[in-house]
Amino acid sequence: MTWKKGRGKLGPLEPLIGSWVASADSPMGKVECTRVFKPVLGEKYITLNCTWSFGKGAYEEHAIFGVDDGTLSFWSFTSDGKRSNGVLSSAPDIHTTAICFEAKMPAGIARQIYWPNEAGGFNWAVESRTKKGWNRFALHHYKAGK
């Protein structure tokens, strides 16, 4: 895997294009998560279709990444009826080339971060901002999928 930014405003997402799979433990038991990033609409946007498969069901997310007022942004919609949106940020505390998006959520500021994994693929984490810094509540290692 090459972790290299592409051209244009959507360029930071270039390393994520494709299909990716992770397995992890969660409070609901084992989960397999698939993320598929794909350029759409004349490569003006990138979609993310994500499925979290648990033993007794699945949780889905559909997100669209695009440029809004000159800033790379995302709009996310989930199978539980929730939605969020946010903007490109940085996470130098995680990795120098991390792809980070921050969003204002009902409980405060949250961020999702993608960064290269030395064993191949990439890591993904979700964190919430606290008075003491960032609190991580999910971490996955994604490998190339089908």
Domain count, the chain: 1
Q: What is the CATH number of the domain that holds 131?
A: 2.40.128.20
**Residue 15 tokens, joined:** 């390393």
Q: To 5 degrees, how large is the angle CA 24–CA 28–CA 29?
A: 50
Higher-scoring residue by pLDDT: 145, 22: 22
Q: What is the per-residue pLDDT for 1? A: 64
Output 137 or 77, whichever has higher pLDDT: 77
* Residue for token pair 């490109």: 88
Phi-psi region of 10 (alpha: psi -120 to 50; beta: other; left: phi over 0): alpha
Residue 6 lies inside a defined structural domain of this protein? no
pTM: predicted TM-score of the whole model, two decimal places: 0.93
7: DSSP letter? S
Per-chain mean pLDDT for the chain: 93
Does 122 fall in a domain? yes
Q: Decide if 3 is inside a domain.
A: no
User: In this model, does residue 45 exceed pLDDT 70?
Assistant: yes
Q: Please state, for a pLDDT cut of 70, what percent of the chain lies above it.
A: 99
pLDDT in tens, 54-83: 888 899 999 999 999 999 999 999 999 999
Confirm whether 4 is domain-assigned: no
Q: Which amino acid is residue 118, in one-letter code?
A: E
Residue 17 within a domain: yes
Domain extent, residue 136, equals 11-144
